[in-house]
Structure formats: structure tokens, C-alpha cells
Chain A
């Protein structure tokens, strides 16, 4: 394992900002794994840390001529202040790619990250969505012509979400990786600022499975749960396959539904309660039979927020 500082910036009042990289194996740049781009992405940080620990212990097993780079935290400043965006100017590093080395601070950070990871054949970003609820673990790719579906299903996660990039997402690492011919997959799940131990394990095993399928790691070194078995087929869903259920009323959001639950058409999945007198303002029912892909998870909900996504 080689440790390096990929980028460093001085601050007026804090210790220097540093991005650390961990390299394993040597030779062709095969896989880059990037996490902790936002202060809310501690779950991805945890998964990346487990990968660093694992690769350190099993470095001799990495296929010869293959190099893996792991960057567990692009954004320690925001992780340490529990702030989703960049502390000084509230910009989002993951909307600044491909970056600009002479531009604003977060453009410079994005440029440094891009330079470090752009020659890799495969790119994995452990990321999150800004939704205030919880997702199932899934691989997320953009439709850009370059075929990332094959790479995405190799993680063997329950879902692959093939998502059409909106104008802002043209500034994401995933999008720009693909512009530069890296096959890129984002892994998302859970809820910002939280860690779900089961999801951490699912993501960790998913990445190991991916490394086995790509021929970077041999089967005999990974835990049995991470082996790429035939029955682990991901379901590929498009934006239009996701049934979005919004709230027609506001109030206290009460639910026992969890992401990944099987749900029946017509089943009551959540209630919106009057916050002063406790009466049920609205019962949210599943419009279809399927799996809960996302469940809102905050105490209070506005009118016209996304309560559930069912696939």
C-alpha cells in the first residue's frame, strides 16, 4: 500500500485541507474508488475505509499489472463539520467536475481529483442523493452512450438505476469520468449523515464482487458473501420505471416501511398526522405492487414532497 497526499490547501484558521490516496498493486490503472465528497457521505467513507483495510491485507492477491486507487474522503472539511457542502462557500464539489485548476476553491479540488482518477479504466463513486429519506443500496449510472450497465451489474446489488443526467449533473464526477472514457458507476444507499451497518456490508461485498468480476481480485480471497454467484442479478430500472408517491398534505410523517420492503398495491405505507391534534390527515397507499426503493425519513413532511419511490 502506498499512501499519498493527492491535494493540499491551506486555511486561515483550520489545519491544512488534504486529500489522501491509497494505492494498491502496480501497473495499469484499473479501478479508482472515490468517497466522502460531501459531508453527509460518511457511509461511503466507511465502505471505502473497509476496502482500504481489506486491500492492505490482501495486496499480494491483486492481479499483476493492475493498480487500484482508493480516496476515502475527498472532503474532510465538510465531514468534520457535519455539513453537506463546502464550508466556506456552500458549493458542492460533486457539481464542479471536470474542475478548473485556476478557478474557485472547489473547482480546484475537483480538478485535482479528476487529474488523479481520470486515466482509470473503471471508476466507482460512493455517493448519496440529496433526498431527506433512505434509499435501498443501488448502482447508479448515466445514459451517455458508453456502456456502464455491464460494469454496474457486476456489483450484484439489488438494483441498477440508469438515470438521465440533468443539467447540474453534468458537473458530477460520474458524468465527467464517462466523458473521459472511464466506465463509471456511482453507488448510493441509505440516508445522508447516517450509517446503516447492513448496507455498509452490502456495499463492501458489492465492490469486492465487482473487483472479482473485473479480474482484479481472485475468487479465493474474498468472503463467500461477496462471491459473484449466478443468482445475484441486479434489476435495471430507468427513471420512468420508478413510481414516485408524493404527499398531498403536510404534518408528522409516520411510517414503519423500510427501503427494500415488498409492498402491495393499496397497502397503507405511511400516515401524515396533524401535528397539534394527532388526527390522520392522509394515508399514503402504494399505487403498485413492488419494492420500496426510497422511503422518506424525517419527522416532519411538507405538502408535495416525495414520500416513497416504488419499483
Chain B
């Protein structure tokens, strides 16, 4: 059933609509409980808060296809929200077009609103998600960085979220410190309202990485089985993710401006001092800098967009697992 979660008038012959597809099977898993008294378990797949992130679009399509193809296995509700920022997706803009505001900084209900239609959208989305057994908010990095499939959480939520994250078939779970500006994200708002929400980061902006999408879909069905939403007596095994804490990540920021040409593959083990890439100046051809790994570890974030300035992030290296290679 396709429902409009938000329906706002736009100035010229159009409406701004945020849609969800609710796939629901009311047949209870246990025959001893009455259907009418049992609250159906619910998972929500959310993506497109940032209009330039497309990996989640394909994940939504794959989930909708599989649930409908094997509908008899469904034991609860799967809600699919592919486009929280529909105008941004259409305009290939990360932010909300026109006001140029990052929608994922406007989910905290208590703050001053820059514009009330954004508050209306974020509040309506939050209300419709609150109470789900699990929300998966799928992000695709940005156009600058390529990320290995990973789940990020702040350490205050780790106790509750880690057991679910371990089922998601991702390579990496990053447990970071609580950050003030992230208090107004969709995930923080839902987690603080007691609705468990996992943030997935994978791939790169404006592109689809099919292998990552298929892996994540496998993990989502595994967690649905765990939550009693999907009937699979023999679920396929999932990857055991590397769990990483803040102190185990080295950030490599560019020391110079130019074109960044990587010398390593993404998600590969590197030795201390190993060449990660070069910065070249196109006007002269000069190699202005050679970028080397500050320690042994695994490159889990790698610069995708070639133009850099001093400070641009080039790579993140997880330094607690030196030997991993793909």
C-alpha cells in the first residue's frame, strides 16, 4: 500500500510528496496468538535524506522485489521510504534545494526552525517511523569519499544497537563519540525516542555499487528474521563485522592542493609508510605530495573525487587490524 507521509503544495502546479510503500502480511507467525491483539513487528528502510546518495535507492528496490516475490514469508510490516528529500534527488542536490539546508540537521523537534515546511517534513517522517522495531537509514557517503559498507553509531546507543548491527552483513561497525551537531539527525532523534535506528554508510554519492547493495539486502533480511518479520528457518550466514572505536581510526587529510591519484585499492591492508596516493598539479605535472599511511591498517574510506585542497579528507585507515585484505 503506497501512502503519502507528507503532502505539501509547491508554488507551480506540483506537490511535494514523501511516499512510503507499506508491505504488510497480517498472518501471525504463532497460531496461538490472535491476530487482532498482536502488534505486528515492523522494520522501516529509509533513504534519500541526502539527494546525492543513491545506493539506498537500489536497496529499496531489491527489498520491495524480494518481499513481494516471497510474500508468504512476511510476518509483519516492511515500510520502504526511498525518498525523504525527493526534490534533492531530482535536482542531484545533497541538501534541500532552494534553501540549501542539510535535511539531516533538522530532525530535532525542540530546536528553532529555519523554515517550517522542513520541520513539517522531518516531524511527519519521524512520527511515522517512531515505534518501529528497527529503522535502517541508508546513506551513501557523499560524492567525495568511497566507504566500505558500515554501520555508524554513537557509543551511547551501542549497547542496544550492536546486536542488531552484527546481523546486517556489513564489513565494519564504527562506534564514535557523541557529537553535538548530530543531535538533530534522523537517527539520533529516533534512537532518543526509543526507536532503534541503524545508520548505514556505503559506497559513494551519485553512483550505485551493486555488490554492496546485495550484501546489505542479505543483512536486512537476516535482521528481519531475527525480529520475527521474515520467516526463514535456515537464514544464510552473515559477515562478522570489524568493530572499531574512535581511537582506532587515522584520518589522512591532504597537505596540498591538486589532483589526488590513489595508489591503493579501497578496503585493503596497508603497511606503515606505504604509498596511498599522489597529489599532482595539472598545470605543471609536478607531484606536489606523496601520501603515505601513518600506520599499518586497513583503508576503509578512500577519496573518490579527485580535486582536493589542503585539508580535504583522502583516506581513513583503521589501525587495529593490519593484515586484512579483500
Contacts and interface: CB of A to CB of B under 8 A. Distances in A.
A105 B99 CA distance: 23
B181 A171 contact: yes
Interface stretch (B76-84, B219-227, B231-239, B309-317): B309-317
Contact of A304 (B116, B256, B312): B116
Contacts of A56: none
Contacts of B9: 249-250, 302-303
Interface in B293-326: 307-313
B85 to A, nearest CB: 14
A10 B12 contact: no
A130 B16 CA distance: 21
Nearest to A167: B183
Nearest to B16: A302
Interface residues of A, number: 45
Interface string B187-201: 000000000000000
A297 interface: no
A107 B100 contact: no
B71 to A, nearest CB: 37
B11 A12 contact: no
Contact of A130 (B99, B108, B259): B99
Interface in A85-125: 85, 88-90, 95, 102-108
B245 interface: no
A84 interface: yes
A13 to B, nearest CB: 8
B281 interface: yes
A300 B310 contact: no
B181 A305 contact: no
Contact of B11 (A107, A171, A301): A301
A180 B62 CA distance: 51
A303 B15 CA distance: 10
A170 interface: yes
A101 B111 CA distance: 29
A244 interface: yes
B94 interface: yes
B204 to A, nearest CB: 14
The 5 A-B pairs at the shortest CB distance, nearest first, are namely A105-B311, A166-B111, A300-B11, A304-B117, A250-B9
